[in-house]
Homo-oligomer: A and B are copies of this chain.
Amino acid sequence: MNITKPTLLIDENIVRKNIKRMTERAKRFNCELRPHFKTHQSQRIGEWFRDYEIDKCAVSSLEMAKYFFNAGWVDITVAFPLNILEHTTVNDLAGKIKLNLCVESIETVKALNDFLEHPVGVFLKIDAGYHRTGLAAENYAEIQSILEALESNHLITIKGFLQHAGHTYGAKGKAEIDEIHAYTTEKMIKLKDYFIKKYPDIIISNGDTPTCSVSENFEHIDEMRPGNFVFYDVMQAEISSCQYEDIGVAMSCPVVAKHADRNEVIVYGGAVHFSKDRIEKDGKTIYGLIAEEKENGWGDPISGWYVKKLSQEHGTIHVPDEAFDQIKIGDLLYILPIHSCLTGNLMSKYYTLDGEEIEMFRYNS
C-alpha cells in the first residue's frame, strides 16, 4: 500500500487473536461477553466478532447504537447514563431491537417512564469504586426506589447492575488490577445478593479491559463488557493488560524534519491524528511509542524511541544517537498509540496490512 500521510493500520490477525482470547476467557468463566464497540466503532470489525459467535454488543451513545443496528446488531446496551434529550432515538431503536439503557437517578427514570413507547431493558449504573458516575453500590435505599420506579413500567425489564472499574486504567501491574477487581466484585455481589430475591433475573455486568484481560475470578459476574481489548494500546501494555505484541493498530507517519542537535525527528502526525492522551514513564511524558518495522506490519517498541510532544499536526519523536542518522526525510515510522479508542475515533478509517480500507462510525455524520 502506498502510504503518504498519517494512516491508521490494523493487523487483522492480532485483532482476531484478541477477540478469540477474550471469547475463550468469557467461556471459561461462564460469563456472557458483550464487547464494547466504542473502541473500533466499525461495522466491518463488528463482523469479525460474529465469527466468534458474538451476537450482542455495548456502545457509548445512542447514535453509535443506530450505526450498529444498521449493520444488523439487534441486542445493544448503551453503556452510558441515559440522555433523556434523545428520547426520539430511544423510542426509534426500542421499537426495532433489544435495547438496554443505563439509569442512575429517579429523575431519569421518571423522564423515561414519560416518553417510553416500546420495551427496553434497563441497567442501574453502579459506582463500585471508580467514582466517575453511577449510584454508590452501598446506597441500597436509593437503588431500591429506582428499581420500584422501573418496575411500575410494564415496558421496562430490569436487567440488573452495570459497573465500569475505570480506575484499573491507573493500575500498575496485574496485582493492582486484581485488587481493584476483588474490591469492586465484592461490592457488586453484595448488591446483587441483596436484591436477587425480589428480582431473580438481575445480572452483574462488568466493563473495563484490564480486569477482563488478566483477572481470574469472575465466578459471580454474569456479563463482561470490555472494549479496548480488541486493539489494546501502550496504556494497556504498560498496566500489563496485554503484551506489546497484542497491540492491533499502529499509526504510520511520514518523517518531515530532523533535528540532530536535540535528537528529535518531526513526523506528520499530531493531536488531530493521535489525540493527546499520554502516560508518564521513567519521569518522561510519552504520547506514543515507535515500533520496529517487520516484513508485514510492526513489532515491539524500539527502546529509547518515543513521541515526546504533539501539536495539531506535528509529532516530535525522540530518537537516540545511534539510530538517528539512519532516519531519512520521507521515511515512515510505525507509532503505537497511547489510547487506541481516541486515535481510532480521530482517524475514522483503518487500513489492513493489505491496504484494504475499513470505514467506521463518524460522530455528527
What is the interface of chain A, defined by CB distance below 8 A to chain B?
3-5, 38, 60-61, 63, 80-86, 88-89, 104-105, 107-108, 111, 125, 131-134, 166, 254, 256-259, 262, 266, 268, 271-273, 275-277, 309, 311-314, 316, 328-330, 332, 341-342, 345-349, 362-365
| C-alpha gap A259/B134 in the complex (Å) | 9
Q: Is the CB of B329 within 8 A of A259?
A: no
Q: Is the CB of A257 within 8 A of B341?
A: no
Q: Is the CB of A309 within 8 A of B86?
A: no
* 6 sample A-B contacts, Cβ–Cβ < 8 Å, listed by A number: A81-B266, A83-B254, A105-B258, A107-B328, A134-B257, A271-B342
Chain B residue at minimal CB-CB distance from A82? B256
The 9 closest A-B pairs by CB, nearest first: A4-B85, A81-B256, A107-B329, A276-B276, A349-B364, A133-B266, A81-B257, A84-B330, A133-B257
Q: Is the CB of B61 within 8 A of A313?
A: yes
| C-alpha gap A193/B70 in the complex (Å) | 63
| Interface of A, helix, strand, loop or mixed by DSSP | mixed
| C-alpha gap A133/B271 in the complex (Å) | 16
Q: Is the CB of A311 within 8 A of B132?
A: yes
Q: Is the CB of B309 within 8 A of A132?
A: yes
| C-alpha gap A266/B83 in the complex (Å) | 11
Q: Is the CB of B133 within 8 A of A60?
A: no
Chain B residue at minimal CB-CB distance from A261? B136
| C-alpha gap A108/B266 in the complex (Å) | 13
Q: Which of A5, A82, A312, A314 has the most CB of B within 10 A?
A: A312
Q: Is the CB of B364 within 8 A of A348?
A: yes
Q: Is the CB of B273 within 8 A of A276?
A: no
Q: Is the CB of A347 within 8 A of B363?
A: yes
| C-alpha gap A134/B261 in the complex (Å) | 12
With a cutoff of 8 Å between Cβ atoms, the chain B residues found around residue A81 in the complex are 256-257, 266, 268
From B108, B341, B346, A329 is in contact (CB under 8 Å) with: B108
- Shortest CB distance A249–B (Å): 14
Q: Is the CB of A257 within 8 A of B105?
A: yes
| C-alpha gap A134/B316 in the complex (Å) | 12
With a cutoff of 8 Å between Cβ atoms, the chain B residues found around residue A313 in the complex are 38, 60-61, 80
Q: Is the CB of A256 within 8 A of B342?
A: no
With a cutoff of 8 Å between Cβ atoms, the chain B residues found around residue A362 in the complex are 348, 362
With a cutoff of 8 Å between Cβ atoms, the chain B residues found around residue A82 in the complex are 256
From B254, B275, B341, A275 is in contact (CB under 8 Å) with: B275
Q: Is the CB of A346 within 8 A of B348?
A: no
| C-alpha gap A225/B362 in the complex (Å) | 31
Q: Is the CB of B5 within 8 A of A61?
A: yes
Q: Is the CB of B4 within 8 A of A86?
A: yes
Q: Is the CB of B85 within 8 A of A330?
A: yes
- Shortest CB distance A162–B (Å): 13
Further contacts, 8 of them, CB under 8 A, given A125-B257, A132-B314, A271-B275: A4-B86, A5-B63, A60-B312, A83-B254, A83-B330, A84-B256, A133-B316, A346-B363
- Shortest CB distance A227–B (Å): 9
- Shortest CB distance A35–B (Å): 15
Chain B residue at minimal CB-CB distance from A3? B85
With a cutoff of 8 Å between Cβ atoms, the chain B residues found around residue A346 in the complex are 345-346, 363
A133 with B85, Cβ < 8 A, contacts A312-B38, A347-B364, A362-B348 known: no
| C-alpha gap A188/B53 in the complex (Å) | 64
A105 with B342, Cβ < 8 A, contacts A4-B83, A166-B311, A314-B132 known: no
- Shortest CB distance A64–B (Å): 9
